[in-house]
Structure 1
Amino acid sequence: MVDKKPSKGPWPTPPFDPRFPNQNQTRNCYQNFLDYHRCMKKMNHRGKSAQPCEYFFHVYHSLCPISWVERWTEQIQSGTFPGKI
């Protein structure tokens, strides 16, 4: 799976997500990371544009520490990622 970088957009902060009302946004970060990769997998499988996936990309890049994203991406590539994508 190729991790394409979506175009830069006016995304100062992610919008409020009622699934994650608390101050700790760790689960929000992880869920948006999963949602992005699931979306990319579906869109690539269907042969459609991945433009709808950009929302998840921007949200997890705003919330997640870079070191987490790098580690998770390496785990996906090596097949050891614990999440279901």
Structure 2
Amino acid sequence: MSGNFEEEIRSYSTAPFDARFPNTNQTRNCFQNYLDFHRCNKALSSKAQDTAPCEWYQKVYKSLCPIVWVTKWDEQVDSGSFAGRI
């Protein structure tokens, strides 16, 4: 793991610009980063690798998404009824 990547994670204050989501409404950006975090965790933990790179996605979705949404999605993931493909 490069020290530069870890330093970027610690030093950013909000979600950076993502060219995939150029509009003002960041709902899809929020949801996509939530999915990316869980996919990253699943992929790296299945290979018994360090999941630290996934923290970047988590910090981004936590800065974009309302807490109520994240809480609801977490409950759905735990119960197996989440609509997204993880």
State how far apart, in whole Å, the 1-side matches of 2:63 and 2:69 are: 12
CA shift, 1:9, in A, is 2.8
TM-score normalised by the chain length of structure 1 = 0.88
Question: After superposition, where does 1:47-58 map in structure 2 within 5 Å?
Answer: 47-58=48-59
Would the aligned equivalents of 1:11 and 1:58 in 2 still touch at CA under 8 Å? no
Q: Structure 1: where are the runs of 5+ without partners? A: 1-7
Q: Which residue of 1 aligns with 2:39?
A: 38
Question: After superposition, where does 1:1-85 map in structure 2 within 5 Å?
Answer: 9-85=10-86
Extract structure 1 runs of 4+ deviating beyond 3 A: none
Q: Structure 2: where are the runs of 5+ without partners? A: 1-8
CA shift, 1:10, in A, is 2.8
CA shift, 1:12, in A, is 1.2
CA shift, 1:29, in A, is 0.1
TM-score normalised by the chain length of structure 2 = 0.87
Higher-Rg structure is: 2
